[in-house]
Structure 1
Amino acid sequence: MDRLEAMHLFVRVAELGSFAAVAQQLGVARSVVTRQVAALEAHLGSKLMVRSTRRLTLTSAGSAYLEKCRVILNLVEAAETDIAAEQAAPRGPIRLGLPLSFGVRRVAPLLLDFAARYPEVSLDMDYSDRRMNLIEEGIDLAIRVTRQLGPGDVARKLGTSHMKVVASPDYLARHGRPQVPADLSDHAYLGYTLAGRSDVLFIQNGASVGVPVRSRINASNGEVLVEAAVRGMGITCHPDFIVDDYLADGRLVQILENHATPALGIYAMLPTNRQVPHRVRVLMDFLADSLGKHEPGAPAMARLPKS
């Protein structure tokens, strides 16, 4: 039995609550995972998990052992990271979680450049606007565009995006141009459902204020809503990386530009349960340098363990 490998599998099973899920994630047979954990229990002379048809739970010994395993595996990863940092180039797999629009428009070309520069790194990219569970899905690094991080998030800020309220010249010619945020309530709005809001946020006197809107069309993808706006079907509000090309060629017009909207942070998100591999750190540095949007005076890292 490879004890470190068995400990690694035990931690994964404990976090996912399933032998089958770990086997699927690693691309091995379920029996490989169960044998390793069983061998670890035999070596320790103690039951670590109680298995039933519906669920898997840790014993008291298993819970205590889990925390010690995490510490040990992090130390091993840190030692290997230090050695890897001294080598000429990063190597190994990186699984990435990327938002659709920003991921395809801004990050994908950079990732292809990174792959060309570091041929010993392999990239597995998952594009989705849903919020991913980095630990359960085996994500090494995710890009998130958000107004606010959650408690305990481990992240590095890469830059900032700004929301812009837009409409087509045709729509404004037919329905008039809003002069103040409150005017949006009288217009057809194209709503982004993943925002989980039925209003549009503006900054007034240093605080975020929501303006209620009537959504004529809703979608979970910003590109669809911007296309609807181009066709004169309503007003919408989206980040600059989605609308700037449309503004540049005149298909859309920015409105209420003198009324500030909340900024969005662009973050590299990391799992909370493991040491950051050297290859992932190199990728984060590459993305930060390539995006060229460092925030003066802002901390580069939040809760990021040092290698």
Structure 2
Amino acid sequence: MDRLQAMEVFVRVAEAGSFTAVADRLNVARSAITRQIAALEAHLGTKLLARSTRRLSLTSSGSAYLEKCREILAMVEAAEGDLAGEKQAPRGQIRASVPMSFGVRHLMPLVADFITTYPEVSVDVEFSDRRVNLIEEGMDFAVRISEQIDPSLVIRRLSRSSLTVVASPAYLDRHGRPQHPEELLQHHCLTYTLGSSLGWNFSVNGEPYSVPIKGRFRANNGDALLDAAIRGLGIVREPTFLTSQAVRAGLLEVLLPEYSATELHIYAVFPGTRYVPHRVRTLVDYLAERIGPVPYWD
């Protein structure tokens, strides 16, 4: 039994909670995964996983062993990465979770260029606006967009974006152009349901100012809200990486620019307990360089 390989398989199974998911990810038979775990348990003389009809769970021994395995595998990967150095071309698989609209619009073309530049790298991307658990789902990194950065996270800043309030000229011609945030109370506002629905935040005379919003259309996707705004259904508040193209094309007008000073951080976040492989660092650095500190969409 290759103990390091068995430890890596055990970590993957523990994080995924499934033999089948790991077998599919590694493109091997499920029986090969179960044999490796059984051999590891026999070698250690203890059960690591409790099996049920629905899912796997860690035993108390398994929980303790899992943390040690992560530490050992991280040290091995760090040692190999340090020896290989930056001269070695990146290779291997990268798994990433990225926001749906931002990922499709802005990251996918860059990832395609990266794969072309580094043919020994494969990239598995999950496009989703949900906040994934990187360790449990076996992700190397995730791209997140937020007004505030959690200081407890291991991150690499990619770029920034601003929140802007926009609406179609046709809607504004029918309902008027608000000159102050409080006038939004008289308008149909389109709501992003994965964020805070309590109101939109502005800065008035240097002080925070929140406006409760209401409207007849809500969605959990920024592109859907953008399309609704272009069709004249109401006013929307969205990042410039979504709105800039439509604004330049004259499909949307920017409203209340003197009150909308909110800046969003775009950053990559890594599992805090793991060494970041050279291939992952190379991709994240590539994304940051191509997007730029002053993003091209602005």
**Structure 2: gaps (5+ residues):** none
User: Structure 2: how far apart are the matches of 1:16 and 1:152?
Assistant: 24
Pair 66,138 (structure 1): closer, same or farther in 2 beyond 3 Å: closer
Q: Is the 8 A contact 1:158 1:294 kept in 2?
A: no
Does residue 147 in structure 1 map to residue 147 in structure 2?
yes
Q: RMSD over aligned Cα, in angstroms?
A: 2.2
What secondary structure, in the 3-state scheme, does the structure 1 residue paired with 2:232 have?
coil
What secondary structure, in the 3-state scheme, does the structure 2 residue paired with 1:191 have?
strand
Does residue 83 in structure 1 map to residue 86 in structure 2?
no
- 1:217 to partner: Cα distance: 0.9
Letter in 1 for 2:291: L
What secondary structure, in the 3-state scheme, does the structure 2 residue paired with 1:144 have?
strand
Letter in 2 for 1:232: G
User: Structure 2: how far apart are the matches of 1:188 and 1:92?
Assistant: 49
Q: Is the 8 A contact 1:90 1:282 kept in 2?
A: yes
User: Which residue number in structure 1 is paired with residue 269 of structure 2?
Assistant: 269
Give the alignment of 1:154-169 within 5 angstroms.
Answer: 154-169=154-169
- 1:182 to partner: Cα distance: 1.1
Pair 281,187 (structure 1): closer, same or farther in 2 beyond 3 Å: same
What secondary structure, in the 3-state scheme, does the structure 2 residue paired with 1:41 have?
helix
The C-alpha deviation readout for 1:43-79, integer Å capped at 9, x for no partner, is 1223323333345443333332222211111111101
User: Which residue number in structure 1 is paired with residue 216 of structure 2?
Assistant: 216
- 1:116 to partner: Cα distance: 1.9
**Structure 1: gaps (5+ residues):** 296-307
Q: Is the 8 A contact 1:160 1:266 kept in 2?
A: yes
User: Which residue number in structure 2 is paired with residue 283 of structure 1?
Assistant: 283
- TM-score after normalising by structure 2: 0.90
Letter in 2 for 1:292: G
What secondary structure, in the 3-state scheme, does the structure 2 residue paired with 1:184 have?
helix
- 1:294 to partner: Cα distance: 7.2
Q: Is the 8 A contact 2:16 2:138 kept in 1?
A: no
Q: Is the 8 A contact 1:201 1:261 kept in 2?
A: no
Give the alignment of 1:1-307 within 5 angstroms.
Answer: 1-150=1-150, 152-204=152-204, 208-293=208-293
What secondary structure, in the 3-state scheme, does the structure 1 residue paired with 2:134 have?
coil
What secondary structure, in the 3-state scheme, does the structure 1 residue paired with 2:216 have?
strand
Letter in 2 for 1:25: R
User: Structure 2: how far apart are the matches of 1:204 and 1:247?
Assistant: 24
Pair 28,217 (structure 1): closer, same or farther in 2 beyond 3 Å: same
What secondary structure, in the 3-state scheme, does the structure 1 residue paired with 2:85 have?
helix
Letter in 1 for 2:132: M
Letter in 2 for 1:165: V
User: Structure 1: how far apart are the matches of 2:60 and 2:14?
Assistant: 13
The C-alpha deviation readout for 1:228-266, integer Å capped at 9, x for no partner, is 212222111100011111111211110111103421110
User: Structure 1: how far apart are the matches of 2:179 and 2:139?
Assistant: 44
What secondary structure, in the 3-state scheme, does the structure 2 residue paired with 1:124 have?
strand
Identity %: 55
- 1:160 to partner: Cα distance: 1.0
> Which stretch of structure 1 is more off in the superposition, 136-145 or 21-30?
21-30
User: Structure 2: how far apart are the matches of 1:225 and 1:64?
Assistant: 46
User: Structure 2: how far apart are the matches of 1:196 and 1:286?
Assistant: 32
> Which stretch of structure 1 is more off in the superposition, 36-45 or 14-23?
14-23
Q: Is the 8 A contact 2:230 2:251 kept in 1?
A: yes
User: Which residue number in structure 2 is paired with residue 299 of structure 1?
Assistant: none
Letter in 1 for 2:43: H
Q: Is the 8 A contact 1:191 1:198 kept in 2?
A: no
Q: Is the 8 A contact 1:288 1:294 kept in 2?
A: no
User: Structure 2: how far apart are the matches of 1:207 and 1:71?
Assistant: 47
- 1:118 to partner: Cα distance: 1.3
Pair 124,154 (structure 1): closer, same or farther in 2 beyond 3 Å: same
Pair 52,217 (structure 1): closer, same or farther in 2 beyond 3 Å: closer
Pair 35,209 (structure 1): closer, same or farther in 2 beyond 3 Å: farther
Q: Is the 8 A contact 1:190 1:216 kept in 2?
A: yes
Letter in 1 for 2:272: T
User: Structure 1: how far apart are the matches of 2:243 and 2:288?
Assistant: 22
What secondary structure, in the 3-state scheme, does the structure 1 residue paired with 2:258 have?
coil
Aligned length: 295
